[in-house]
Amino acid sequence: MKPYLTKGIKEIIDQFPEVEKILNEYDIGCGPCNVGLCQLKDIVEIHRLPVDQEQELMARITKAIDPEAEVKIPEAKEAPPPEPKAFNYSPPMRKLVDEHVLIKRWIALIPEVVKDLEVESQAGRQLVLDGVDMIRSYADKFHHAKEEDILFKYFDENSDILKVMHEDHKQARGHVQAILEALEIKDKNAIAEHLMAYAGLLTEHIRKEDEILYPWMDSSLSTRQVGELFSKFNEADLQMGFSPKKYEAFIDSLEKKLNA
Ligand SMILES: [Fe+2]
Ligand SMILES: [Fe+2]
């Protein structure tokens, strides 16, 4: 089993498809991950399962990889009723989770925006530009910059999980660039396609951060580091040079308009 612990999960799944099914049963979905480089040992560590569940998971994976292996799979206990996931975030992590809320409200509006997409009028084009401004200024400059320039620096940036996060941010920027290029030539289909791809990408990205990355980071940071992070985040916000209120107002008015 040991050599598999340091193997990329996608490689293991390609060789032993049963492993993906087992991981899914423990709510560890590797499907939405775009990179798939994460090593098996890191995946198990980051998801922080209760000890008995982790033992059971590893035993089942070992059996799937090597059916001859002498492994005793612990008897499954009667499943407790599923509890809603509740996370006790530290103040800086809570700040990032709260910022996700506005981004999620924008993502929820994207299918409606795409349905009524109109690029022949100035007003129609302006809506796309306002949406792009929301992504570039609020999601990227205000939020992703705090992650990339401050938070991620506390961890090994060559770790697989951070490579996945950076890659998601990069792909999101690629969609924004493609939306602007499509707007130049009034290519409605391409704008719609990249807006929807952005929405799908960010939905999964935010879920990974809220449910996996931030809780794991919180468990790894010292109290001193948490305090330091919080003041660095506040400092960064002050230096941004714009008020996030502008984007809250944009989302408020768009929700009223589209849900009217
Ligand atoms: Fe992120
Ligand atoms: Fe984020």
Identify the band that residue 115 occupies on the pLDDT scale cut at 50, 70 and 90.
Answer: very high
- Domain(s) labelled CATH 1.10.3910 in the chain stretch across 2-65
Mean pLDDT on 187-200: 98
Let me know: does 49 contact 57? Beta carbons within 8 Å.
yes
* CATH 2.20.25 is the classification of domain 2-65: no
What is the whole-number distance in angstroms between the Cα of residue 56 and the centre of ligand 1?
31
What is the whole-number distance in angstroms between the Cα of residue 209 and the centre of ligand 1?
7
CATH of segment(s) 91-258: 1.20.120.520
Residues 90-100 pLDDT 10s: 999 999 999 99
φ, ψ for residue 18 (rounded to 5)? -55, -30
Residues 197-230 pLDDT 10s: 999 999 999 999 999 999 999 999 999 999 999 9
Indicate which ligand has the atom closest to the C-alpha of 103.
2
Residues 3-32 pLDDT 10s: 777 777 777 888 888 888 888 777 787 655
Indicate which ligand has the atom closest to the C-alpha of 166.
1
Q: Return d(Cα 78, Cα 66) in angstroms, integer.
A: 27
- Domain(s) labelled CATH 1.20.120.520 in the chain stretch across 91-258
The dihedral of CA 175, 184, 121, 119: what is its sign?
negative
Residues, Cβ < 5 Å to ion ligand 1: 147
Q: What is the pLDDT of residue 84?
A: 65
